[in-house]
């Protein structure tokens, strides 16, 4: 053991060896060899004390590989047997059974046993030996570590294959090769070793111990003999080196194969735009899922959809691992399926070797194929037509000729089927529309997008000028004559539809679509004449025979003077009627059925509705009852679809009437008979049951630390701060329970400065910043926000800001706004700032008014006095704070205009609030004077500058109760040159308050109760938002749950609704 250079030189002389090794103590890295004193003198002890020992060449095995042996231990027991490490340079790349001979191995095992008996370790480690002249030479002992190159492999082998020969090695996979593709190839070659299977002595194969795509991998080969293990290693190396040739051939399977496990992935086509399609299409397959068999991919971040799955999970006995949620960031589900989702699907498919999986998309598109090819590479199939078939036949365009090629037959004509269609043409441009309009020769026509569905994009037109305005939002369209349609006896348009799955028709008869406007509101057995139905069925069979589809589709007909008109082609995709028909076949094939749409009220929880059905004996419970009502889609506030199953249509009709009344019923919910325990508790706001219990919190800050660990939320308010006993008693009566173990519970942030409709523009139109997004505001922990206009009142307007503020309130958070903008004379909505503040509920004051800024109006003190006084009076009349919120610039006058107002008038200093007060050191110093006079200041969240300002304020003993912080989110951040010209611009995000909190807490070691007032209680009290900023009984339930170890945001509750969970964040309209 050596600590100095002199030690090394003495040791080298004493060892008497030409070649020595120098190894740092306590480290597996930094070992070097030396062969002369001059080399030794260059060593600088980078890791402290070292060991020097003589370096002797190890003996070679029969294949020329030197014998460097290892044996692992765990506690006082060895793991496996002595194995040889195969080194590439100094790096171990594989292990194999030792080639040192029986005596050599026994010597090592005896020695190691003696050491373990004496030292009695409790952890893991390794002994390393070299075979030198046939003898075992101990070269290293490592305690308290796993060595990925061999220890983990030995442990694994000892557990699952104790009698087998193990070969473990490192490798670098070829580019873009992932572990599931390798595993699939191993299965194909019958060399996949599955450790979970029952141990057999003859089992052999390879298994990845570690695998990083585009990185490194670690494998073990298990076999009865060393030769077989080496052969398996060679096969694996070939796979890793050569990669796997991509198989572009996709296997198609039949929906009728009930043994296959379906992966439902029903995302809308790229052309679709409706919000209902975004969530309806994925959700309507949930009721078709089979327990412990099928899997579904759903868009994340949308609470009503999560609620519907959880309902079906309980009623249909599904499991949590049967659903995978995407991020929910994009409209199209296929585009939202990222590497994380694909990896989960690969794990499901790859780990169930005996099962066959089939992907079930809404329609096969390029977007679908982008990710699905990675799953089909694992031998999963697809139920549906291929993308090329869909592009050719899967659209309405097959009905008509293109207006540019009127002499070229349509696909329907080429198929040689005798059917009437409306007079019309395919069009791609406005010029095409105008030409087609003239060719059709009728005044009233209909525009139908080629790839439209559920009535989306259908427009009735009666003038040529209207056609000139069309902008083809969904691509090519049909322009058709408007038909005079027949109606059934009840006045509903007669619109029979036939649906198929592959080569067979679905259902026993046609269904009539219950049309409302251009869309359908449900289905019922067709009341069309039998001859009409027979014709439609024969025609569909003929078309199916000609088209040879591999998946689902359908054809819609209209009746004109009793004659069938083929009006719509829904080929290459699932139709809405497929799902109730399949549901009926699964659970009540002999019953009549009626399907209707009805949007559930936003506040009608699905369990409340279900319990109403149960109490009224109307609930259809799959597998238990044979008649009743079941929700096929239930997205409260967005859409609903319900199926009624009964012996006769008359009974269906009566059930329909009763179900509508239950959906429309007002008042408290019923007590459930199954499912969650939702119960009316009169002690909490009358009949209110929509309660959330937050339990087991590590700490609750109000902002001060409270002595309880449970919060009860009812409606939009905090109903109780409970001890553990009371919380346990209340838990059965709560609709939702959040376990806040290891979390801090704090008030939601109050952000008084956000550019909700965007800001900027100082660098021209391209520098205009985007509007605020609900999800981004929630990710910043903000539950109350005040919007501002800013510099630009030319291209942005207070009317838009007011509308955006209302939208944010409708989305579930609390939002207000400051009227006016940077400049005087003021812009307003009601004729003056005073009237805005007094008369508009959501207007709290005026701002942000530019003071000492080159972009401001450079108004006189007299003009400022008049404005501030008017705003204050408006606040007094309207019961508001009536504050003039002042944007502080870089000009030398700084706060002087505001000091003059205080000096010249009796207007309270609290009628003005200067912001951006951390902009310059001089401004900070004036802010201290402002606070000493009784005023408040607002800082702009910037992790570095804001912290420096806060530290400086504390050094000056400034009362921090007069300081608050806001984000300036979506406001532009412009950099100027020395001459005041703008150079570049960005914009502020919404997470500044969270970032500042983390820095103050972890780096500056501020107590949480000192940080929180800056962003919660102080801005709330200053703006007179009396129900905001604190956690106390009766206050608004605006609550954040933070991981106490990282302060990462886990949950956001705003006005009593869960807006963010660890897995999803609510999104606003259009996100």
Residue 700 has pLDDT above 90, yes or no: yes
Contact 1037, 746 (CB under 8 A): no
DSSP 300: S
Residues paired with 739 in a beta bridge? 695
Q: E-strand spans in 399-476? A: 424-427, 445-449, 459-461
Q: What is the pLDDT of residue 675?
A: 32
Query: And the tokens for 575?
Result: 């139709």
Q: C-alpha angle 484/488/494, rounded to 5°?
A: 55
Residue 914 has pLDDT above 50, yes or no: yes
The percent of residues above 90 in pLDDT, for the chain, comes to 50
Q: How far is CA 544 from CA 107, 393, 495, 507, 534, in A?
A: 78, 11, 20, 15, 15
Residue 1069: exposed, middle, or buried by beta-carbon count in 10 A (0-12, 13-18, 19+)? Answer: exposed
User: pLDDT for 645-668, tens place per residue?
Assistant: 999 989 998 999 999 999 988 654
Closest residue by Cα to residue 749 from 1057, 946, 1040: 1040
Lowest mean pLDDT among 235-244, 303-312, 398-407, 567-576: 235-244
Q: What is the pLDDT of residue 515?
A: 59
Among 53-62, 345-354, 450-459, 1039-1048, name the most confident range. Answer: 1039-1048
The band of 56, judged by pLDDT with boundaries at 50, 70 and 90, is confident
Mean pLDDT across 84-103: 78
Q: What is the pLDDT of residue 175?
A: 78
Closest residue by Cα to residue 645 from 661, 663, 632: 632
Residue 670 has pLDDT above 70, yes or no: no
Residue 1043 has pLDDT above 80, yes or no: yes
The band of 680, judged by pLDDT with boundaries at 50, 70 and 90, is very low
Q: How far apart are CA 1014 and CA 939, in angstroms?
A: 9
Q: What is the pLDDT of residue 55?
A: 80
Q: What is the pLDDT of residue 3?
A: 92
**What is the spatial order of strands in the sheet that 50-54 belongs to?**
32-34, 20-24, 50-54
Q: What is the pLDDT of residue 221?
A: 85
Query: And the tokens for 678?
Result: 């939702």
User: pLDDT for 729-751, tens place per residue?
Assistant: 888 888 899 999 999 999 999 99
Mean pLDDT across 902-907: 95
User: pLDDT for 776-796, tens place per residue?
Assistant: 999 999 999 999 998 888 999
Query: And the tokens for 933?
Result: 């006079």
Mean pLDDT across 478-505: 87
Helices (H), 209-260: 226-242
Q: What is the pLDDT of residue 894?
A: 93
Contact 806, 838 (CB under 8 A): no
Residue 327 has pLDDT above 80, yes or no: yes
- Considering only residues 276 and 385, tell me which one the structure prediction assigns the higher pLDDT: 385
Question: Residue length, the chain?
Answer: 1071
Q: How far apart are CA 451 and CA 270, in angstroms?
A: 9
Q: What is the pLDDT of residue 669?
A: 40
Contact 72, 125 (CB under 8 A): yes
Query: And the tokens for 997?
Result: 């909190």
Contact 155, 79 (CB under 8 A): yes
Q: What is the pLDDT of residue 685?
A: 37
Contact 703, 1018 (CB under 8 A): no
The band of 469, judged by pLDDT with boundaries at 50, 70 and 90, is confident
Closest residue by Cα to residue 293 from 352, 341, 250, 350: 352
Contact 628, 588 (CB under 8 A): no
Closest residue by Cα to residue 507 from 442, 552, 459, 562: 552
Q: What is the pLDDT of residue 707?
A: 81
CA gyration radius, the chain = 37
Helices (H), 639-797: 649-664, 724-730, 774-779
The band of 608, judged by pLDDT with boundaries at 50, 70 and 90, is confident
Q: H or E segment at 83?
A: strand 77-88
Query: And the tokens for 1027?
Result: 């129900």
Q: What is the pLDDT of residue 686?
A: 36
Among 108-117, 205-214, 222-231, 686-695, name the most confident range. Answer: 108-117
Q: What is the pLDDT of residue 980?
A: 66
Q: H or E segment at 376?
A: helix 366-376
Mean pLDDT across 84-106: 80
Q: What is the pLDDT of residue 430?
A: 92
Query: And the tokens for 250?
Result: 């996709």
Active-site annotation holds for 968: yes
Residue 633 has pLDDT above 70, yes or no: yes
Distance spanning both ends of the chain, measured CA to CA? 65
The band of 518, judged by pLDDT with boundaries at 50, 70 and 90, is low
Mean pLDDT across 317-343: 90
Residue 525 has pLDDT above 60, yes or no: yes
Residue 942 has pLDDT above 80, yes or no: no
CA 555, chain centre distance (Å): 36
Tell me the HSE value of 489 on the side-chain side, using a 13 A CA sphere.
4
Mean pLDDT across 343-359: 86
CA quadruple 176, 177, 179, 184: dihedral positive or negative? positive
Q: How far apart are CA 870 and CA 409, in angstroms?
A: 74
Helices (H), 755-797: 774-779
CA 50, chain centre distance (Å): 51
User: pLDDT for 163-176, tens place per residue?
Assistant: 667 777 878 888 77
Task: Determine the 3-state secondary structure of 150 from DSSP.
Answer: coil
- Considering only residues 92 and 463, tell me which one the structure prediction assigns the higher pLDDT: 463
Lowest mean pLDDT among 248-257, 609-618, 756-765, 970-979: 970-979
Residue 943 has pLDDT above 70, yes or no: no
Contact 261, 357 (CB under 8 A): yes
Residue 385 has pLDDT above 60, yes or no: yes
Task: Determine the 3-state secondary structure of 756 from DSSP.
Answer: coil
Residue 623 has pLDDT above 90, yes or no: no
Mean pLDDT of the residues in the chain: 87
The band of 201, judged by pLDDT with boundaries at 50, 70 and 90, is very low
Q: What is the pLDDT of residue 359?
A: 95
Residue 683 has pLDDT above 50, yes or no: no
Lowest mean pLDDT among 138-142, 270-274, 289-293, 709-713: 270-274
Mean pLDDT across 809-838: 95
What residues contact residue 970 under an 8 Å CB cut-off, 6+ apart?
754, 755, 756, 758, 759, 769, 770, 771, 772, 987, 988
The band of 506, judged by pLDDT with boundaries at 50, 70 and 90, is confident
Residue 335 has pLDDT above 70, yes or no: yes
CA 466, chain centre distance (Å): 40
Q: What is the pLDDT of residue 925?
A: 95
Contact 367, 335 (CB under 8 A): yes
Q: E-strand spans in 701-741? A: 710-714, 717-722, 736-739
Q: Which of 968, 978, 1004, 1043 is catalytic?
A: 968
What secondary structure, in 3-state letters, does 828-896 show?
CCCCCHHHHHHHCCCEEEEEEEEECCCCCCCCCHHHHHHHHHHHHHHHHHHCCCCEEEEEECCCCCCCH
Among 350-359, 505-514, 865-874, name the most confident range. Answer: 865-874
Contact 818, 843 (CB under 8 A): yes
Closest residue by Cα to residue 524 from 497, 563, 543: 497
């Amino acid at each position: 053991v050596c600590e100095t250079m002199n030690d090394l030189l003495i040791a080298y002389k004493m060892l008497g060896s030409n070649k020595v090794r120098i190894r740092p103590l306590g480290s597996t890295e930094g070992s070097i060899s030396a062969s002369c004193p001059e080399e030794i003198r260059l060593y600088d002890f980078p890791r402290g004390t070292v060991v020097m020992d003589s370096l002797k060449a190890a003996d070679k095995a029969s294949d020329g590989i030197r014998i460097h042996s290892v044996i692992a231990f765990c506690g006082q027991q060895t793991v496996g047997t002595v194995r040889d490490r195969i080194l590439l340079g100094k790096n171990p790349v594989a292990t194999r059974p030792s080639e040192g001979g029986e005596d050599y191995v026994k010597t090592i095992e005896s020695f190691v046993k003696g050491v373990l008996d004496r030292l009695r370790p409790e952890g893991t480690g390794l002994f390393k030996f070299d075979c030198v002249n046939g003898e075992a030479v101990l070269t290293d002992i490592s305690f308290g570590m796993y060595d990925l190159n061999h220890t983990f492999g030995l442990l694994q082998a000892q557990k699952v294959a104790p009698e087998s020969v193990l070969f473990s090695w490192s490798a670098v996979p070829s580019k873009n090769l992932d572990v599931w593709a390798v595993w699939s190839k191993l299965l194909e070659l019958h060399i996949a070793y599955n450790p979970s299977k029952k141990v057999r002595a003859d089992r052999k194969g390879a298994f990845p111990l570690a695998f990083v795509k585009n990185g490194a991998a670690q494998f073990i080969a298990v076999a009865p003999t060393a030769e077989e293990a080496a052969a398996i290693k060679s096969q694996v190396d070939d796979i890793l080196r050569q990669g796997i040739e991509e198989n572009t051939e996709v296997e198609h399977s039949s929906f009728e194969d009930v043994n296959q496990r379906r992966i439902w992935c029903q995302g809308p086509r790229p052309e679709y735009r409706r919000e209902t399609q975004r969530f309806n299409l994925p959700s309507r397959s949930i009721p078709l899922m089979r327990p412990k068999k099928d899997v579904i991919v759903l868009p994340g971040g949308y609470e009503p959809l999560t609620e519907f799955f959880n309902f079906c999970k309980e009623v249909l006995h599904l499991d949590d691992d049967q659903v995978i949620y995407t991020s929910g960031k994009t409209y199209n589900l296929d585009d939202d399926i990222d590497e994380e989702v694909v990896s989960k699907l690969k794990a499901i498919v790859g780990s169930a070797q005996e099962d066959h999986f089939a992907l079930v998309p809404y329609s096969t598109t390029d977007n679908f194929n982008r990710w699905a090819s990675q799953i089909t590479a694992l031998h999963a199939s697809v139920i549906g037509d291929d993308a090329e078939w869909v592009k050719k036949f899967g659209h309405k365009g097959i009905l008509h000729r293109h207006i540019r090629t009127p002499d070229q037959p349509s696909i329907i004509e080429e198929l040689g089927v005798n059917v009437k269609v409306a007079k019309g043409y395919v069009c791609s441009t406005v010029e095409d529309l105008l030409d087609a309009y003239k060719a059709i020769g009728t005044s009233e026509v209909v525009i139908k997008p080629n790839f439209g569905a559920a009535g989306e994009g259908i427009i009735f037109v009666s003038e040529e000028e209207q056609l000139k305005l069309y902008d083809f939002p969904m691509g090519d369209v049909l322009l058709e004559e408007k038909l005079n349609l027949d109606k059934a006896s009840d006045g509903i348009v007669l619109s029979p539809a036939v649906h198929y799955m592959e080569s067979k028709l679905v259902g026993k008869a046609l269904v009539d679509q219950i049309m409302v406007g251009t869309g359908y509101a449900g289905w019922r057995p067709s009341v069309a004449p039998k001859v009409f139905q027979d014709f439609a069925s024969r025609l569909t069979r003929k078309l199916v025979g000609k088209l040879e589809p591999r998946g689902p589709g359908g054809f819609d007909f209209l009746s004109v003077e009793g004659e069938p008109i083929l009006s719509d082609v829904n080929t290459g995709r699932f139709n809405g009627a497929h799902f109730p028909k399949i549901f009926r076949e699964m659970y009540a094939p002999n019953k009549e059925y009626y399907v209707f749409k009805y949007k559930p009220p936003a506040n009608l929880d699905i369990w409340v509705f279900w319990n109403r059905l149960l109490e009224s004996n109307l609930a259809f419970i799959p597998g238990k009852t044979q008649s009743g009502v079941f929700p096929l889609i239930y997205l409260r506030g967005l859409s609903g679809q319900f199926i009624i199953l009964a012996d006769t249509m008359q009974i269906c009709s009566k059930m329909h009437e009763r179900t509508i009344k239950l959906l429309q019923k007002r008042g408290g919910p019923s007590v459930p008979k199954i499912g969650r325990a939702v119960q009316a508790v009169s002690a909490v706001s009358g009949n209110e049951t929509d309660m959330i219990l937050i339990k087991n919190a590590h700490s609750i800050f109000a902002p001060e630390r409270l002595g309880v660990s449970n919060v009860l939320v009812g409606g939009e308010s905090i109903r109780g701060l409970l001890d553990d006993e009371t919380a346990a008693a209340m838990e059965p009566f709560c609709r939702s329970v959040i376990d806040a173990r290891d979390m801090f519970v704090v008030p939601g942030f109050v952000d008084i400065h956000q550019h909700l409709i965007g800001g900027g523009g100082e660098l021209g139109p391209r520098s205009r910043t985007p509007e605020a997004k609900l999800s981004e505001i929630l990710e910043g922990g903000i539950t109350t926000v005040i919007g501002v206009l800013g510099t630009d009142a030319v291209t942005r307007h207070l009317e838009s800001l007011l509308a955006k503020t209302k939208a944010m309130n409708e989305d579930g958070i609390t939002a207000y706004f400051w009227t006016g903008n940077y400049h005087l004379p003021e812009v307003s909505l009601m004729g003056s700032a005073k009237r805005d503040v007094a008369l508009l509920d959501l207007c709290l004051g005026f701002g942000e008014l530019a003071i000492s800024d080159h972009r401001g109006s450079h108004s006189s003190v007299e003009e400022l006095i008049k404005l501030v006084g008017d705003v204050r009076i408006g606040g007094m009349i309207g019961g508001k704070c009536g504050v003039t919120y002042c944007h502080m610039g870089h000009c030398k006058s700084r706060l002087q205009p505001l000091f003059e107002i205080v000096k010249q008038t009796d207007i309270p200093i609290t009628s003005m609030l200067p912001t951006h007060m951390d902009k310059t050191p001089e401004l900070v110093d004036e802010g201290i004077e402002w606070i000493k006079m009784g005023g408040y200041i607002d800082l702009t969240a910037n992790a570095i500058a804001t912290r420096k300002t806060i530290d400086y304020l504390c050094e000056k003993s400034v009362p921090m109760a007069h300081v608050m912080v806001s984000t300036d989110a979506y406001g532009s951040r412009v950099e100027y040159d020395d001459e005041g010209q703008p150079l570049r611009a960005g914009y502020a995000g919404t997470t500044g308050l969270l970032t500042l909190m983390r820095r103050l807490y972890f780096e500056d070691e501020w107590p949480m109760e000192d940080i929180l007032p800056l962003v919660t209680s102080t801005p709330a009290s200053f703006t007179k938002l009396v129900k905001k900023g604190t956690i106390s009984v009766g206050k608004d339930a605006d609550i954040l749950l933070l991981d106490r170890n990282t302060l990462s945001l886990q949950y956001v509750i705003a006005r009593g609704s869960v807006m963010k969970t660890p897995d999803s964040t609510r999104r606003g309209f259009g996100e």
